[in-house]
Structure 1
Amino acid sequence: MKLYYSPGACSLAGHVALHEAGTPFETETVDLSTKITASGGDFEAITTKGYVPALVLDDGELLSENIAVLDFIASRYPKLGLDGEMGRTRLIEALAYISTEVHKSFKPFWRGGSDAEKSAASAYITKRMQYLADRVKGDYLLSDQPTVADFYLLVTMLWAERFAVVIPTALQGVFARLKARPAVQVALKAEGLI
């Protein structure tokens, strides 16, 4: 497998998950402004979407979209998912919420929003994170073991920390536990984030 990522982007979640799974994989960075990969390739020749993550499987098949990539990883490495009849559904529910309600709300911070837009986004993000904080089940978001949803949440909490967005108290312990995990440390170092 080969993961195309941009340092600090949402693709970090898949990067962490693959390390956590302990599976061999390759990585290549992408400059999202030029759409050029670290090896000088045209990223839009890999995916016309032009954004990360992009996961090329061993058979050459391409997966894109963070939820799909993370669902694939959890399906292949069940320790990163949830058990039970509703496990996969609950995991996708959490991934979709993080994607649509938290991730997308950072847009004013990345796209040069006004101070008023950033302030409104900050309050909205904290409120949406509070919804998750109120439902923490164990040491991590959905259980006592981290899932791919935790790794996606980690990315958004790193962004919150960067932009001084308040992270609810009940998520701060989850955030600290995630940052201390060896797989997270490896991915953060690889992406030049620590």
Structure 2
Amino acid sequence: MKLYYNPGVCSLAPHIALREAGLAFTLEKVDPATGRTEHGADFLSINPNAYVPALEISPGLILTEGPAIMQYIADQAPAAKLAPAYGTMERYQLQSWLNFITSEIHKAFSPLFKPGMPAEAKTAFKEQLATRFDHVERRLSKHDYLLDSGFSVADAYLFVTTGWSGFVGIDLQRWPAIVAFRNRIEARPSVQAAMMAEGLLKAAA
């Protein structure tokens, strides 16, 4: 498998999942400015929507959209327990969290990175994010992970998206359970390895 990625963005979540699952994969960086991959391919021919992540499962077979990619990865390595079994209520709870993160957190961040967005609009999006973080805080104040079964691909996705807060002027100290959660997730070897591979962490001297 090959993961098309850009450092530090949402593709970091399936990158973490691949390492947690112990699956063989390669990485290919995408330059959003040129629309080409590091090996010179036109990324539009891989994902017509022009954004990462995209997972090449086999030549010509491409899966897009982070929540779908992460569930696919989890199902390739059931022993890693990154997702509950299909048909169980726990699996639907996982899908509920993935949908919440992608629609209510991930997409609410997008306008905050646009330089032309009016300040009033950015304030409104920050306020919306705060209410979503309040919801997550209530869960994590009583549980270490989003699911009762333990670490899942949803936790990887939440870790990545909440990590953008500092870049847009949101202080996570207001949500201590989220801060503690992020510290737990960041300490995982798979997360350290993924962040190092993407140039987000430096190797220890």
The alignment's TM-score, normalised by the length of structure 1, stands at 0.92
Query: Which structure 1 segments of 5+ residues have no match?
Result: none
Residue 101 of structure 2 is aligned to residue 98 of structure 1: yes
- Structure 2 residue aligned with 1:81: 83
1:45-124 alignment runs, 5 A limit: 45-58=45-58, 60-78=60-78, 79-82=81-84, 85-112=88-115, 113-124=117-128
1:144 CA displacement: 5.9
The answer to whether the aligner puts 1:188 opposite 2:192 as a matched pair is no
Q: Which moved more, 1:137-146 or 1:35-44?
A: 137-146
CA contact (8 A) 1:29 1:38 kept: yes
Which residue of 132, 139, 150 maps to 1:135? 139
Query: Equivalents in 2 of 1:36, 1:191: separation in Å?
Result: 17
TM superposition shift of 1:161: 2.7
What's the offset of the Cα at 1:59?
5.8
**Counterpart Cα distance in 1 of 2:171 and 2:146:** 17
Aligned residue identity for 1:132: V
Q: Distance in 1 between matches of 2:177 and 2:121?
A: 26
Q: How far is the alpha carbon of 1:36 from its aligned partner?
A: 0.4
Structure 1 letter corresponding to 2:89: M
Q: State the 1:127 CA deviation.
A: 1.3
Counterpart amino acid of residue 90 in structure 1: Q
**In 1, distance between residues paired with 2:197 and 2:185?**
16
Aligned to 2:41: 41
Contact 1:3 1:15 in 2 (8 A): yes
Contact 2:2 2:55 in 1 (8 A): yes
Aligned residues: 194
The offset of 1:118, in angstroms, is 2.2
Instruction: Tell me, in whole angstroms, the C-alpha distance in 2 between the residues paired with 1:134 and 1:163.
Output: 23
TM-score (ref. length: structure 2): 0.88
Q: 1:179 — aligned with what? A: 186
**Structure 2 counterpart of 1:81, one-letter code:** A
Secondary structure of the corresponding residue to residue 57 of structure 1? strand
Rounded Cα–Cα distance in structure 2 between residues aligned with 1:88 and 1:43: 32
**Partner in structure 1 of residue 151 of structure 2:** 146
CA-to-aligned-CA distance 1:94-138 (integer Å, 9 cap, x gap): 000000000111122221223322222222112102112212363
Matched residue, 1:16:
16
Larger Rg: 2
Provide structure 2 residue ranges, at least 5 long, that are not aligned to the other structure: none
